[in-house]
Chain A
Amino acid sequence: MESLKKPHWTSSTNSFVAKISGDFVLQIEQRLDKEGLTHAALAALLNVTESSVSQKMNQPPNFKLSTIVEYARALGLKVSIVAYDDGDPNNERGPINSEIFYECWKRAGSPADFFDLPNFKVPIDPVIEQAVNEGHQMGDWPLTKLAATGNI
Chain B
Amino acid sequence: MSNFVFTHVSGYSFRRRALGFLQRDGSTELDAKAHFEELVEKDANLVRSRFGHWLEGKIFDKYFHGWSDEQYRQCFVFKWEKRHKPQRLYGFLCHPNPSTDKGFLLCVLAYFATKDDATDYTILDRLNKLRQDFSVISAISAECAEFMVGKSKWNH
Residues of A within 8 A of B (CB): 1-5, 7-11, 14-15, 18-19, 21-23, 26, 29-30, 33, 58-60, 92-94, 97, 99-100
A29 lies within 8 A of B13 (CB): no
A1's partner among B11, B63, B81, B104 (CB-CB below 8 A) is: B104
In the complex, how many angstroms separate the beta carbon of A140 from the nearest chain B beta carbon? 58
For the complex formed, measure the closest distance between the CB of B134 and the CB atoms of chain A, giving whole angstroms. 24
Contact partner of A18 (CB less than 8 A), chosen from B13, B46, B97, is B46
Given contacts A1-B97, A97-B56, is CB(A58)–CB(B48) below 8 Å? no
Decide if A59 touches B10 in the complex (CB within 8 Å).
no
Of chain A, the residue at the smallest CB distance from B143 is A3
Q: Which of A14, A30, A58, A100 contacts B45 (CB 8 A)?
A: A14
Interface centre among A29, A30, A97, A100 (most CB of B within 10 A): A97
In B48-62, which residues have CB < 8 Å from any A CB?
Answer: 48-50, 52-53, 56, 58, 60, 62
Closest Cβ of chain B: how far from A73's Cβ, in Å? 22
Q: B residues within 8 A CB of A33?
A: 62
Contacts known (A97-B58, A99-B58); A22 close to B12, Cβ less than 8 A: no
Interface residues on B, range: 20 to 34
Chain A neighbourhood of B41, CB < 8 A: 14
Q: How far is the CB of B156 from chain A (nearest CB, A)?
A: 25
Counting CB contacts under 8 A, is B153 at the interface?
A: no
Q: B14–A15 contact, CB under 8 A? A: no
Closest residue of A by beta carbon distance from B57: A97
Bound together, the chains give a CA A94 to CA B58 distance in angstroms of: 15
Q: CB of B108 within 8 A of chain A? A: no
8 Å CB contacts to A: which residues of B13-70? 13-15, 18, 41-43, 45-46, 48-50, 52-53, 56, 58, 60, 62-63
Closest residue of chain A to B81 (Cβ to Cβ) is A58
B10: chain A residues within 8 A (beta carbon): 5, 9
B12 contacts A94, CB within 8 Å?
yes
Kindly state the separation between the CA atoms of A19 and B44 in the bound complex, as whole angstroms: 11
Cβ–Cβ contact B45 & A19, under 8 A? yes
> Chain A: which residue is nearest B56 at the CB level?
A97
Q: How far is the CA of A93 from the CA of B52 in the complex (A)?
A: 11
Q: Which B residues touch A100, using CB under 8 A? A: 56
Q: Does B101 contact A (CB under 8 A)?
A: yes
Check A59 against B13 for contact (C-beta < 8 Å).
no
For the complex of A and B, list the 8 residue pairs with the smallest distance between their C-beta atoms, beginning with the closest. A22-B49, A9-B11, A18-B45, A93-B13, A3-B14, A58-B81, A5-B10, A9-B48
- Do B62 and A29 have beta carbons less than 8 Å apart? yes
Q: In the bound complex, how far is the Cα of B52 from the Cα of A29, in angstroms?
A: 17
